[in-house]
A and B are shown apart, each in its own frame.
Chain A
């Protein structure tokens, strides 16, 4: 079987989940109770949100939800523009990432849910429910407009349609939506939990892996289980399971650190151009802007003097705020870089003056 370990050992049932078992039991109770509310699943990436959602769906509808097919759906906006969006669906649920549609997410949310909610389930046998489930991923990326539309749709079609929303952070989600859903928090697994899972997988794969390496991997991934398993498999493929081996850092992280070094190394117009290329490359390879911002700030703040940190952060938060207001991310990132260079340079000059 050529499945990745991540997919191969993904738990399929609520009862086989490895951690947060208490919560799993509670979710089971919820499903059995019959009255299923809208859910809002939130937690950092790699903590197992999707795994839990699929388990809940399976618990609700049986194995039928595992027969997935992907489909492209076109939605027409009021201005007659056609937006195509990819969905993954089974007979019982449909999964979309509405933020793929950019500023047209409102139309997607309203149209799709309406379409799904209007078709009722016909024959309701034993393990069939009278509702379908719509899974919306990355709801924290939805525009406020779309969220308000969602709130209306949630109430209107609650008879034959339930929503499961999936987000990394609750802050951008309007209170009206939060109060309509049952929040399910999925914290990242602890280091010990990650270690146990890795050693379990390795045992099943007949791979002898030294305990120190497992520990090293678990510590390096920052609670991201998916990454831990991927690294582990990579080590296996490379055939290098020495306990003292170097673990590869994700290349985008290395790249951002390099960018930070360039910024602090010399502050000039030419350097800005270099940084711009770097940023473009990062965005083009699909690294989300908030991650770029976070890593860049962390790298820069650690490099600069304690005196200017408050001001740097003040500017960072201003530019990040503007970035979310506008829709061209690169502009604001560059603006921040230039601002930082100015602050940094001034500080250096001030220091030199004293000598």
Chain B
């Protein structure tokens, strides 16, 4: 009976949709990133400019074409989706065309799908009688992955359909979007999130989901995810799943999930690089490192931090080491040459730090003169 009454119209209207809280019903295995996506524009943390423009628009102002750019996990997709939901309410599904890099997005799609979608006219009222802008929005996620040809094909479409359609481009690197497109859009930069905001959000989630985690470990998690909200939330969920209900998440869990290399290893490697150590020792060390299976790319990242922070290295030498580091890390990512590249980096750093500059310059000149053509005798 109780249940019946609650279901019926007599019951209280269902609690006003809580903004970031958990839905009452346990949605089936929804990733937390989806579950806790901000529902309204006001919920989006930081990113003042973009939010205020969208708020104006929700209140009735005109919406320009938008270009959001910034590092991953800063809320680009969330912001535009939340705005669209507020603008269109139930019509949301019909008014939005969302394409991301996982969809086919060659020039063909721009010509056909986007064109046909944007040519439809939109009504200026909702089904429930409320007003809503007579617009449709095309969201192009990860727009920097689009080919230049496809981007060029978008130019005219964007202008011709301004009456009915707005475009929202989302990308990590604004430099990969061609100039004519950027000039047609209002640009907003999304900054990496402040750690305190990420921490706050994670704490909310922990409470709702009954995740047991100490504050200092949560702090580490936030710090290691580097202002990327999605990464932080996904990591938290993975940790929680690994641990099961009712046990505390440990520091090791966080490190494993975020593939952090313990600083002990990087420290000793950096020490090996700095002093003139025996080549055998270095080889042995790299072997051990490979046995531990730590991701080598992370080692390079940490090494870069060390390099930047070390005060007793001359700036010029730093730049030289930095160049080598970049080369090694790039080559590592292109094949399976972790061992060679790491060894190469170690030996070169040693050389740069111990040999005087003059001698190395001489050597380089010598080497440039010497070619294989001079050949074997």
Using a CB–CB cutoff of 8 Å, the interface residues on chain A facing chain B are 22, 26-27, 29-30, 32-35, 37, 42-44, 47, 140-141, 151-152, 155-156, 168-172, 178-179, 182-188, 222-223, 267-269, 290, 293-294, 297-298, 301-302, 306, 309-311, 313-314, 316-317, 320-321, 323-325, 338-339, 341-342, 345-346
Contact = CB atoms under 8 A, between A and B. Distances in A.
Contacts of A186: 293
Contact of B238 (A37, A151, A297, A302): A37
B293 A313 contact: no
B252 to A, nearest CB: 8
B102 A152 contact: yes
Interface stretch (B55-63, B215-223, B344-352): B344-352
9 contacts: A42-B295, A44-B290, A170-B259, A171-B338, A172-B334, A185-B293, A222-B291, A309-B347, A342-B374
Given A37-B238, A342-B372, A310 B337 contact: no
Contact of A179 (B102, B231, B252, B292): B231
B293 A44 contact: yes
Interface stretch (B110-118, B266-274, B325-333): B325-333
Interface in B296-324: 296-297
Contacts of A172: 333-336
Contacts of B252: 22
Given A26-B242, A298-B283, A342-B376, 10 more contacts: A35-B29, A152-B102, A156-B102, A184-B256, A290-B339, A301-B343, A310-B350, A324-B334, A325-B335, A339-B372
A220 B83 CA distance: 62
Interface residues of B, number: 53
B68 to A, nearest CB: 19
Contacts of B351: 310
Contacts of B259: 170, 178, 183, 185
Nearest to B230: A179
Given A34-B29, A301-B279, A171 B333 contact: yes
Interface in B249-303: 252-253, 256-257, 259, 279-280, 283, 287, 290-297
Contacts of A268: 376
B201 interface: no
Contact of B291 (A187, A301, A339, A341): A187
A320 B244 contact: no
B377 interface: yes
B370 interface: yes
Contacts of A168: 336
A290 B293 contact: no
Contacts of B372: 338-339, 342
Query: Which 6 A-B pairs rank lowest in CB-CB distance, beginning with the nearest?
Result: A324-B335, A29-B244, A170-B295, A35-B29, A43-B293, A188-B291
Contacts of B376: 267-269, 338, 341-342, 345
Interface of A, helix, strand, loop or mixed by DSSP: helix
Interface in B18-72: 29
Interface of B, helix, strand, loop or mixed by DSSP: helix
Contacts of A302: 279-280
B243 interface: yes
B280 A345 contact: no
A334 B103 CA distance: 43
A313 B336 contact: no
B375 interface: yes
B50 to A, nearest CB: 24
Interface of B: 29, 101-102, 231, 234, 238, 241-244, 252-253, 256-257, 259, 279-280, 283, 287, 290-297, 327-328, 331-341, 343-344, 347-348, 350-351, 367, 370, 372, 374-377
A44 B244 CA distance: 28
B257 A182 contact: yes
B336 A311 contact: no
B337 A293 contact: yes
Contacts of B331: 317, 320-321
Nearest to B259: A183
Nearest to B327: A317
B347 A313 contact: yes
Contact of B257 (A33, A183, A290, A309): A183
B336 A290 contact: yes
Given A268-B376, A321-B335, A342-B372, A170 B340 contact: no
A310 B348 contact: yes
Given A44-B290, A311-B367, A323 B335 contact: yes
Contact of A26 (B253, B292, B344): B253
Contacts of A269: 376
A12 B231 CA distance: 33
B243 A26 contact: yes
B102 A321 contact: no
Nearest to A35: B29
B348 A314 contact: yes
Given A310-B351, A339-B372, A321 B337 contact: yes
A188 B293 contact: yes
A170 B238 CA distance: 19
Contacts of A185: 256, 259, 293-294
Given A29-B241, A152-B102, A342 B291 contact: no
A345 B377 contact: yes
Contacts of B341: 317, 320
Nearest to A271: B376
Contacts of B327: 317
Contacts of B256: 183-185
A169 B244 contact: no
A29 B243 contact: yes
A194 to B, nearest CB: 12
A320 B280 CA distance: 21
Contacts of A323: 335
B253 to A, nearest CB: 7
Given A313-B344, A316-B344, A170 B367 contact: no
Contacts of A30: 241-242
A37 B293 contact: no
B83 to A, nearest CB: 23
Contacts of B242: 26-27, 29-30, 182
Contacts of A22: 252
A104 to B, nearest CB: 19
Contact of B335 (A179, A298, A301, A320): A320
A44 to B, nearest CB: 5
